[in-house]
Amino acid sequence: RKGGGLLVGTGPLLVQADGSRCFTLWVEVLMPGERLDIGVTAKAAHEHFSSDDRRGANGGLLGRGQRPQSAFAEDLLSSWIVESSGLLVGSHAGLRIRDDRWNARRLCAGDRLRLTVTAAGELVLGLNGASVTASWRAQIPPEAQI
């Protein structure tokens, strides 16, 4: 099975003086054809599938000891994820915005990727020091702990 996902951080991003929040990721290895989806979530990873959430992917109730499964990052609650193709997806209805300037399949080992959420709720990706390589009007609420 390819991929499987990687959780890079588990705490809220610090708010900068300009109201933005950001993190940087260095690409060490990316296999040919491997995809890299990147984004933020306003709900801590351990809270996504708490014991209080008793519904499965199809909406049916889960049995004791069963945990809901998520096949895709956009299945996570309160999430904003940029797919390799430049499509912004998330858990909010109608959130499907594309920026054709972004293609994560062109990333190489040694690349430095910076994700910024602006004070206005825009999601911006910069590559190797560029402040803006691609951007999306994600409408991430400023009060969201991402």
Q: Exposed (0-12), middle (13-18) or buried (19+): which is 10, by Cβ within 10 Å?
A: exposed
pTM assigned to the model: 0.80
- pLDDT (mean) for 34-50: 77
Bridge partners (DSSP) of residue 114 are 24, 126
- pLDDT (mean) for 52-74: 54
- pLDDT (mean) for 63-74: 58
pLDDT digits (tens, 9 = 90+) for 109-123: 999 999 999 999 999
- Which of 63, 42, 65 is CA-nearest to residue 144? 42
More confident residue, 70 or 98: 98
Cβ atoms of 121 and 135 closer than 8 Å: no
Q: CA distances (Å), 80 to each of 30, 75, 100, 136, 139, in order?
A: 22, 10, 17, 10, 9
